[in-house]
Chain A
Amino acid sequence: MIEIIAPGPLCTVQDLGRSGWAHLGVGSSGAADRSSHRLANRLVGNPVDCATLECTFGGLRVRFDEAVYVALAGADCPATTDPYHPVGHGQAVALAAGTELVLGAPRTGLRTYLAVRGGVDAPLIMGSRSTDLLNGLGHPPLVVGDRVGIGADPGTEMPVHHAPPRPSDDSPIALWPGPRHHWFTAAAHRALTGAAYDVLGTSNRIGTRLQGVALERSVVHELPSEGIIEGAVQVPNDGQPLIFLADHGVTGGYPVIAVVDPADIGRVAQARPGERLRFRWSR
């Protein structure tokens, strides 16, 4: 079992999500930065769809009842055990039974994934263990005193390598045209790929909210609600774009000017409030 001693600002159970239910109004949810979630799993020899703990801005403190292998990936935060011992990022680490693991605030990035060999065992709801904060599905956000199980050992070989730190990447985020890109002026298209946008503190697992040059519409009539995908760059009436992340609603009533390339969604999910994002058209 894993006992939550302190959850930090937000800690949820996440896997690769529950796709295939959007027609009933349920989005996929799942890890906001899937590539980091996959990496954490791979480092402890788990299948990539095992559930991990997604920690937003560190602050997590957990105690393991049993001896475990764990790995941290995503936002790089200082990690130690209690009694004190530094824990590396991006590598499998063996912890003795009774050990406490303590995460500080990340130096860069926003979301850290803690994988445990065997996977985090929360109830499977509609094919996934993910916490969907929009629809209230899955295990609620972890609170002090929660105890979550650990799944069976996958029986795989433990990898001997560790993942080298990812080089910092501040290149522009790749965009594809969205279904309503033609509802915007040429100036809006220029601004989207020419200006920088600040990430706002109101961002969450539903979406990353941005502030910058307002994106002006050339078609101003109302849009009947239509389907939304992860990575959709939606522009409400104030012209300030927001990028939908894992817990987005399945439909929306504002035009989508562009869609973030799936390979870059993890980078958007890791952007901290106050950071600036730039965009380019995908080729």
Chain B
Amino acid sequence: MPTSPFTWPAEARDIASATATRLLPCGPTSVMIEVDDTEQAAQLAAHLRSAGLVGMIDLVPAARTVLVTCSSAHALAEVATIAVGFVPDERPPMGGIVVEVPTVYDGDDLGSVAETTGMTVAGLIDLHSSTEYRAAFCGFVPGFAYLTGLPEILCLPRRQNPRPRVPGGSVAIGAAFTGVYPTTSPGGWHLLGRATVAMWDSSRPRPAFIEPGDTVRFVPVPGSGTR
């Protein structure tokens, strides 16, 4: 029979019971922190990153959680303390940089998305490129950033049938996110265009063009709206 599963640092355990931020156990050197939504997870990740804790190795924001891996139980307890004291702001500093993605809006799904949303193609391009997004988290493949802030009218379910091959660089929307496929891969998002910069290059000092916390704008470049 298993003994009590809660055998991680006592400090963190005591704090966990008194807060709305959920601390979930994840082995002796990691903790999963659960919040209410993607925006809060991104904020908490930025908050933890800015704390610059020695002993924090990896910090992975996701849809509703932040996973933190530390080099010691002591650092883990510090992370837990910061996490439970965290209060989400309405418009917090995210700590990232402003990134502009030059985009040719000539995606295969421009027409169908315009039709579904009742917009013109020009109106769709204008709306997508005039909105400021925030990189909430990366995943799927290296350098694939999930960008939040997509206007509600563009929040469409994923395609019925995912494409087996989405070209690398494709700018796309899916559910509540927009993003750019760094490499050619299968994908179920709606394709609006293509970025003219590489999203991922492991030989760059900053391998990912977009990092969590960044503010992102898509800038239309010639060729948009034609195919």
Say whether A19 contacts B5, CB under 8 Å: no
| Closest residue on chain B to residue A125 by CB atoms | B202
CA distance A3 to B208 in the complex (A): 34
CA distance A249 to B62 in the complex (A): 13
Describe B's contact surface by its main secondary structure. loop
Say whether A178 contacts B60, CB under 8 Å: no
CA distance A28 to B142 in the complex (A): 12
Q: What range describes how many residues of B lie at the interface?
A: 35 or more
Q: Which of A20, A125, A251, A259 is in CB contact (< 8 Å) with B26?
A: A259
Q: Which residues 225-268 in A have Cβ within 8 Å of B in the complex?
A: 225-229, 231-232, 249-251, 256, 259-262
Residue from A28, A179, A180, A250 having most chain B Cβ neighbours under 10 A: A179
Name the distance in Å between B74's Cβ and chain A's nearest Cβ: 16
Say whether A224 contacts B64, CB under 8 Å: yes
Q: What range describes how many residues of A lie at the interface?
A: 35 or more
CA distance A200 to B85 in the complex (A): 44
Chain B positions within 8 Å of A21 at CB level: 58, 142, 207
Name the distance in Å between B1's Cβ and chain A's nearest Cβ: 7
CA distance A183 to B57 in the complex (A): 27
CA distance A230 to B44 in the complex (A): 23
Q: Which residues 5-59 in A have Cβ within 8 Å of B in the complex?
A: 19-26, 28
Q: Mark A171-190 against chain B: 1 for CB-CB distance below 8 A, else 0.
A: 00000111111000000011
Say whether B59 contacts A22, CB under 8 Å: yes
Q: Which of B64, B65, B139 is in CB contact (< 8 Å) with A250?
A: B139
Q: Mark B18-42 against chain A: 1 for CB-CB distance below 8 A, else 0.
A: 0000001111111010100000000
Say whether A25 contacts B7, CB under 8 Å: no
Say whether A22 contacts B202, CB under 8 Å: no
Chain B positions within 8 Å of A218 at CB level: none
Is A97 at the interface (CB under 8 A from chain B)?
no
Say whether A24 contacts B143, CB under 8 Å: yes
Chain B positions within 8 Å of A163 at CB level: none
Is A69 at the interface (CB under 8 A from chain B)?
no
Name the distance in Å between B17's Cβ and chain A's nearest Cβ: 14
Say whether B138 contacts A24, CB under 8 Å: yes
Given A20-B57, A135-B142; A229-B69 close (CB under 8 Å): yes
Is B66 at the interface (CB under 8 A from chain A)?
yes
Is A282 at the interface (CB under 8 A from chain B)?
yes
Given A135-B141, A178-B26, A225-B139; A23-B63 close (CB under 8 Å): no
| Closest residue on chain A to residue B183 by CB atoms | A136
Say whether B58 contacts A22, CB under 8 Å: yes
Chain B positions within 8 Å of A28 at CB level: 58
Q: Which of B7, B26, B57, B212 is in CB contact (< 8 Å) with A256?
A: B26
Chain A positions within 8 Å of B32 at CB level: 179, 226-227
Q: Mark A216-227 against chain B: 1 for CB-CB distance below 8 A, else 0.
A: 000000001111
Q: Which of B5, B8, B57, B207 is in CB contact (< 8 Å) with A24?
A: B207
Chain B positions within 8 Å of A281 at CB level: 2-3, 5, 7
Extra A-B contacts (5), CB below 8 Å, given A23-B137, A177-B7: A25-B144, A176-B7, A181-B25, A226-B67, A256-B26
